[in-house]
Amino acid sequence: MRLSKFKLPHTLVLISAIMVVVAALTWIIPGGRYERRQDQDGREVVEEGTFSFVDRKPQGLFAVLKAPLIGIRQTADIIGFILIIGGVFAIIHKSRVIDAAIVRVAARLRHRGMVVIPAGMLLFSVFGAIFGMSEEVIPFVPIFIPLALALGYDSIVGVCIPFLGAGLGFAGAMLNPFTIGIAQGISGLPLFSGIGYRIFVWLVSTGVGTAMVMYYAAKVKRRPEASSVYALDRDRPRVVAEGDPEVATLTASHKLIIGLFGVAIIVMILGVMKFHWFIPEIAAVFLGLGIATGIAARLSVNTIAESFVAGARDLVGAALVVGFARAILVLASDGHIVDTMMYAISRAIAHLHPVLAAQLMYVAQTVLNFFVPSGSGKAALTMPIMAPLADLIGITRQTAVLAYQLGDGYTNMIIPTSGVTMAVLGMAKIPWEQWARWLLPIEIVLFVLGLLLVIPPVLFKWGPF
């Protein structure tokens, strides 16, 4: 078979293969467990020095077959969120407001479209760095993909503006309460201390990632067939021509809907930052937006309902992928191998040179991110061990937090076990394998960048402030 005709398997096939591999590892890796306790904020954290081997619990064929349903149950909030967002945006599309807005933006930026990329990625990076924007990015994907297509780019660029932008900010965060706040609290550090160097890390991370996306976008603009999703984008519905009377001007109804969308975004941001809203509250805001949009567009109640169902139906495949991806974690956890890997990593690092030890902490956090993609969950698992380990090997706890932060953040944008990543790709209708193949060079650059960024804190004994 010629290489040019090679086609990667479907995303569900790839995820199922990973499930089988993880199940096989539960027959090889010994079972282990750390004791856990509740901290003052109610989080479950690991007790350092309490690891013990337990009976191995191999996961067989029946466990593999059960795991997807358990994964769907555990990610029901994300799956429901995907379906609701899909239904809401189908209503918004029915109003034609997105077509009208994109026609106007594309016309004004016809010769300056490239400014949308750095401006948009910087904005979302700020959101990721300050309040840990993650699930909140999903509703923006259906907006930026048609905008990117209208400006002469591709759907990958449309995904990168909100998703990669927020991901880079999340990785290089200065004030993210879900990663920095929790990790520093567990490590006994002043909240959000060390912000000066973290601002530098954020600027470098965002700058490098944005530059690579802009380079790719410029190549696609010059030669559309160079797009990694060229065949996929050819079949996408495009924004209609500027002369279409339905979208030639923004009507009063369109302007009202844009205003409603703006209010929804402001309410979402305030809710997340001030009241610690999560997926159910955000879903409620967007469901209300969908209903209000249908009324503003003067759609009948039947049309609103039919559009909602059609939009949700289009994302059933994406919802299944999220559940199957979680099944990987179900098998690793039920097989008792996650704590064993954590214990092995900590022992391997303990007697190394401080610079190499800090770098291997970062590598270890990167590997563990595949099995524990939750930033707060991984902080609770790893920092009770990594913080005292940092004291023993001669690096500061602030450096250990940075290693965790970068190891958690950079790979969030590619691992198939991340529910947010799979939800974004489902919303974008981009298969995970195509996204992973395109993003891999950027991930390699970011990985090397992380190795370099943990060196100065070791050399200068980066402290709490």
Which phi-psi region, left, alpha or beta, contains residue 405 (left: φ > 0; alpha: ψ -120 to 50)?
Answer: alpha
Distance of CA 294 to the CA centre of its chain: 30
Whole-number Å distance between alpha carbons of 309 and 305: 6
| pLDDT of 177 above 60 | yes
- Residue with more model confidence, 305 or 238: 305
Q: What is the pLDDT of residues 40-60, one digit of tens each?
A: 666 667 787 888 999 889 999
Angle formed at CA 336 by CA 330 and CA 342, multiple of 5 degrees? 105
Q: Using DSSP, state whether 460 is helix, strand or coil.
A: coil
Range list of H helices, 56-181: 61-74, 76-94, 97-108, 116-131, 141-150, 155-159, 165-171
State the number of CA atoms in the 13 A half-sphere of 443 facing the CB.
16
- Residue with more model confidence, 220 or 11: 220
Closest CA to 158 of 204, 203, 113: 113
Pairing outcome for strands 36-38 and 44-46: antiparallel
Highest mean pLDDT among 128-137, 241-250, 420-429: 420-429
Q: Using DSSP, state whether 306 is helix, strand or coil.
A: helix
* 174 within 8 A of 199, measured Cβ to Cβ: yes
* pLDDT band at 103; cut points 50, 70, 90: low
Q: Which pLDDT score is estimated for 243?
A: 46
Closest CA to 266 of 135, 378, 127: 127
Percentage of the chain modeled with pLDDT above 70: 91
| pLDDT of 121 above 80 | yes
Mean pLDDT of 220-233: 91
CB proximity list for 347: less than 8 A, separation 6 or greater: none
CA distances from 85 to 142, 228, 400 (A): 10, 26, 37
Closest CA to 316 of 19, 104, 80, 124: 80
Look up residue 177 and give its two tokens.
Answer: 């309460």
Lowest mean pLDDT among 234-248, 385-399, 423-437: 234-248
Mean pLDDT of 453-459: 95
Q: Using DSSP, state whether 350 is helix, strand or coil.
A: coil
